[in-house]
Structures are given as structure tokens and as C-alpha cells.
Amino acid sequence: MLKEIDMVVPKSVDEALHILSEKKDKAQPLAGGTNIVLELQNGSDKELLVELGMLKELTGIKREGDMIILGGATKLADVLKDELVARFGVPLHEAAAKFATPMIRNLATAGGNLVDASPAADTAPPLLALGAVMELRSIKQTRFVPINEFFVGVNKTLRQPDELLISIRWQIPSKKSAGGFEKIGLRKGMVCSIISTSIQVEIDDLQKVSCSRIGLGAVAPRPIRSYQAEDYLIGKILTEAVIMEAGRLASESSRPIDDIRGSADYRRKMSDVLVRRLLKRIASNLAG
């Protein structure tokens, strides 16, 4: 049986925020529930579930100017089907395709995956690669936090107990850019990542990298960016040698641990391999 807990179904985001401001860290916002239900089995200290799944304002994907705005309670299945994400958020599209299983995708939400902040959360590296910004709102204010500041530790984010993750937004990449997502698991279906990576690269008219973002999952207490590798890539053409060095640098930026799924050494080595592979694929997309 799940822990005994109360539940409230607010009719608006505003109502939800009022409840959170009152109940603070005793409140548990609930969208898909695929993480929360497990926590309720294993000893959550929350006292009130705040159901968000019905709130229209929190679901859906739209374009506003040059931004794509993804509602925090949007189901992963809808993320996967979405045209805007397929065109302008390829890293996230690829991650959604590999996310859990079709049935879980019909429940799990992007926001839920992000605020749960598992080091292996599969929506994190792609949104890091897209340079996304999180919209956090309380009854006091709305603030925008860049995703690379959002994760602070294992299952810990900058979200305050009285805030909701309203949306995640990113700027539409330039035409001369490409991205993707890769993961390794101990089996091919329905699997937690041992390590994942997601990259978005933009090049200029001379084929030189003008911007790159490399996200890594499951190699540190939180999803991270490989700034060393990214800095290295600026101004370079994606040759085999450059890609190799970028992979090596990415692997150096990882801080993995041993656990039952894999050793730290393996994860470190695989950061290199996956980043190289993904950069190679991206280079080929940019050329072709």
C-alpha cells in the first residue's frame, strides 16, 4: 500500500501555487506520477499531493517567436509526437523516443522527470544541450533559471517548495545546427541509462563550431555540461581529431561513481565513446 496521504485537485495554476505557498515542503506536486507513486511506496515525508495533470496551462508545446515553450506537465508521449520538438528540439525528440516504454510515456511528464532530478534523468541532457531555461513560479514571482544551474545535487534542484515548474523553453537552434541523444543501458528496452549524452552544435559559414552544448547524464551527482569540451570545440571544424579530443575532454569532466549498474571507470570511458559517436553523427548531419 502507498503511504497515507491527502490529495487536492486545484482547478488552476494559481490555486495550486496558493496551496504550495501554504504547505511548502509538505506538498508534493503530482503530474504523471511515475516517480511519485514509487516514493509513496518507499517512505515519502510528504503530506499532500497536489494534482496538476488536468491544468491546461501546464501542458502543451508552442512556439513564441524564436522560443519553443514546453509545458511542465506535458506527457513524454506528446513530446515525442510533437512537430515542433521534432524540428527544433532534436535532442529532446531522440531522448523521448528512448524514454522508458510507450505506456510509461503516456504518463510520465518532462517536468516530472526534471524536478525529480535523478542523475540519470533522460530529459536532462537534451535540455542541457538545447540550453533550456526553466520557468519557476510561486505566488510571489516568476523566475527563469537556466537549466545548467537548475540541478544542484542528487534529486535536488533550485525549485523551492512553493514553486512549480511551469514550463521549459529553449531558443530555436540556427539553421546550421544539429543535435542528438545517445544512451547506454544494460539492456535495449525499458532501461535506466548507465550513461547518456546529448549534444547540440551550431556551425558558422566556414563550418567552424560557433556554439556547442554537451550534456552528460549518470556520470555525476547531477546532469552536467562538459564545458571544457565545449570551449575546446569553439572555432574548430569537426574533424576526426577534433572529435576525439572533445570526447577525451568530456570524459575528464565526468565524475561518475561505481554502482550496481556500472563502474565509474566504465562510465568515464563511455562518456568519451558516446560523445565522440554523437559528434560524428552530428558532423555527418551538418555536412549532408
Partner 1 sequence: MEQKLINLIVNKRKHQVAFYPNITLLQALRKLGYMDVKNGCEQGDCGACGVILNGKAVNSCMVLIWQADGSEIITNAGLGNMEKPHPIQEAFADAGAAQCGYCTPGMIISAKALLDEKPHPTEDEIREAISGNLCRCTGYGHIIKAVQDAAEKIAAGGAI
Partner 2 sequence: MKYKAKEIPKVDLPELKIVGKPLRRVDALGKSVGATVYAGDYYVPNMLYAKVFRSDQPSARIIKLDVSRAKSLPGVECVLTAQDLQGATLVTDFPGQTGREKRAGSDAPVLASEVVRFRGEPLALIAAETLAIAEAAMKLIEVEYESLPGVYDPLEAMKPGAPVVFEPDNIVARWKIRKGDAKKGMEAADIIVENTFRVPFIDHAYLEPEAGVAWIDDQDVINIRVATQVVEHFRNIARAVGVPQNKLHIIGTLIGGGFGGKEDVTVEIFLALLVKATRKAVRLVYTRDESILAHSKRHPFIMKHKTGVKNNGLITAAEIEMISDSGAYPYLSPYVLLYATVASTGPYKIDNLRVDSTSVATNNIFASAFRGFGAAQACVAYEQQMDEIAKKLEMDPLEFRKINYIKTGDKNATGQVIKSAVWLEETASRVLEAMGEKTADSGSLKIGRGFASYMQSYGRITMFHDTSRAWVGLELDGTVVVRCGVPDLGAGQINSLCTIAGEVLGVSLNDTTIYYTDSALTPLAGTSTATRQLYMSGNAVFQASSAIRQVLLERAQKIFEEEISNLDLGGGKVFVKSNPSQGMPISDLAKLCASEGLPLNNLAEFKAPFTEPPDPETGQGDIYPDFTFGAHAVEVAVDTETGEVTILKSAGCHDVGRAINPIAVEGQIQGGSAQGLGYGLMEDVIIKEGVIKTRNFSEYLIPTSRDVPTTIPIILESGTGVGPFGAKGIGEPSLTPAAPALANAVADAVGARVYQLPLTPERVLDAVRRGKIK
> Contact residues for partner 2 (CB under 8 A)?
1, 184, 186-192, 194, 260-263, 266, 269-270, 273, 277
Three cell numbers written together for 238: 569537426
Give me the least distance between CB of 87 and partner 2, in Å please. Answer: 27
Q: At closest approach, how far in Å is the CB of 123 from partner 2?
A: 17
Taking the complex as a whole, the smallest distance from the CB of residue 266 to partner 1 amounts, in Å, to: 23
Give the nearest distance from C-beta 105 to partner 2 in angstroms.
15
Report the residue number, 26 or 261, with the smaller CB distance to partner 2.
Answer: 261
270 is in the binding site of which of partner 1, partner 2, none (Cβ under 5 to 8 A by kind)? Answer: partner 2
DSSP string of 263-277, one letter each residue = -HHHHHHHHHHHHHH
Residue 36 grid coordinates: 511519485
List the single partner that 199 binds among partner 1, partner 2, none, CB under 5 to 8 Å by kind: none
Strand 142-146 to strand 195-203: parallel, antiparallel, or no bridges (unpaired)?
unpaired
Rounding to the nearest 10 degrees, give the CA dihedral for residues 52, 135, 80, 82: 100
Partner from partner 1, partner 2, none binding residue 3, C-beta < 5-8 Å depending on class:
partner 1
Minimum gap (Å) between residue 93 Cβ and partner 1: 15
In the bound state with partner 1, the residue whose beta carbon lies nearer, of 12 and 41, is: 41
CB nearer to partner 1: give 1 or 206.
Answer: 1
- Identify what 206 binds: partner 2, partner 1, none; CB under 5 to 8 Å per kind: none
Q: What interhelical angle do 264-287 and 240-253 show, nearest 10?
A: 150
HSE (side-chain half, CA atoms, 13 Å) at 110:
32
Contact 275, 232 (CB under 8 A): no
CA within 13 Å, CB half, 280: 12
164 by DSSP, 3-state: which?
Answer: strand
Whichever of 17 and 246 has its CB closer to partner 2, that residue is: 246
Compute the least distance from the CB of residue 269 to partner 2, in Å: 8
CA distance 223 to 122: 9
Smaller CB distance to partner 2: residue 175 or 187? 187
Identity of the residue, 81 or 269, whose beta carbon is nearer to partner 2 in the bound complex: 269
Select the binding partner of residue 51 from partner 2, partner 1, none (C-beta < 5 to 8 A, by kind).
Answer: partner 1
Residues interacting with partner 1, by CB under 8 A?
A: 1-7, 9, 30, 32-34, 37-38, 40-41, 49, 51, 53, 77, 100-104, 106-107, 189-190
The minimum distance between CB 70 and partner 1, in angstroms, equals 19
Give the span between the Cα atoms of 82 and 62, in whole angstroms: 10
190/287 with CB nearer partner 1: 190
209/232 Cα distance (integer angstroms): 10
CA–CA separation, 230 and 277 (whole Å):
15
- Cα 202 from chain centre: 20
Q: Is 131 left (phi over 0), alpha (psi -120 to 50) or beta?
A: left
